[in-house]
Structure 1
Amino acid sequence: MKLDPPETREINYSQTRKNVTKWFDTEYSKYQRLASIPVISSVRLSLAPRSTTSANSVEDTTVKRANAKQVLEFVNAVLDTLDERSQKIIRSRHIQKLLSWQVEEIVNLSRPQLYVQDCKACAQFAQTMDMTAGTNLAAYKETSDNER
Structure 2
Amino acid sequence: MKLYAPETREIDCSQTRKNVAKWFDVEYSKYQRLASLPLLPNSVLSLAPARSTAHANTAEDRTVSRANAKQVLEFVNAIIDTLDERSQKIIRSRHIQKLLSWQVEEIVNLSRPQLYVQDCKACAQFAQTMDMTAGTNLAAYKETSDNER
TM-score by length of 2: 0.94
SS at match of 1:124: helix
SS at match of 2:136: coil
In structure 2, how many angstroms separate the alpha carbons of the residues matched to 1:49 and 1:123? 42
Q: Offset at 1:50? A: 2.7
Structure 2 residues without counterparts, runs of 5 or longer:
none
Aligned to 2:106: 105
In structure 2, how many angstroms separate the alpha carbons of the residues matched to 1:139 and 1:52? 39
More helix by share: 1
The answer as to whether partners of 1:44 and 1:58 remain within 8 angstroms in 2 is: no
Letter in 1 for 2:85: E
Deviations 1:2-35 (A, max 9, x none): 4211111000000000000000000000000000
SS at match of 1:68: helix
Q: Percent of pairs identical after alignment?
A: 84
Distance 1:108 1:52, change over 3 A: closer
The answer as to whether partners of 2:12 and 2:140 remain within 8 angstroms in 1 is: yes
Aligned to 1:30: 30
Q: Offset at 1:43? A: 2.8
In structure 2, how many angstroms separate the alpha carbons of the residues matched to 1:114 and 1:44? 48
Alignment of 1:62-141 (within 5 A): 62-141=63-142
Alignment of 1:50-61 (within 5 A): 50-51=50-51, 53-55=53-55, 57-61=58-62
SS at match of 2:147: helix
Query: What is the alpha-carbon root mean square deviation over aligned residues?
Result: 1.3
In structure 2, how many angstroms separate the alpha carbons of the residues matched to 1:58 and 1:18? 37
In structure 2, how many angstroms separate the alpha carbons of the residues matched to 1:34 and 1:129? 20
Distance 1:54 1:105, change over 3 A: farther
The answer as to whether partners of 1:35 and 1:69 remain within 8 angstroms in 2 is: yes
In structure 1, how many angstroms separate the alpha carbons of the residues matched to 2:52 and 2:110? 57
Q: Offset at 1:52? A: 6.1
Structure 1 residues without counterparts, runs of 5 or longer:
none
In structure 1, how many angstroms separate the alpha carbons of the residues matched to 2:109 and 2:145? 39
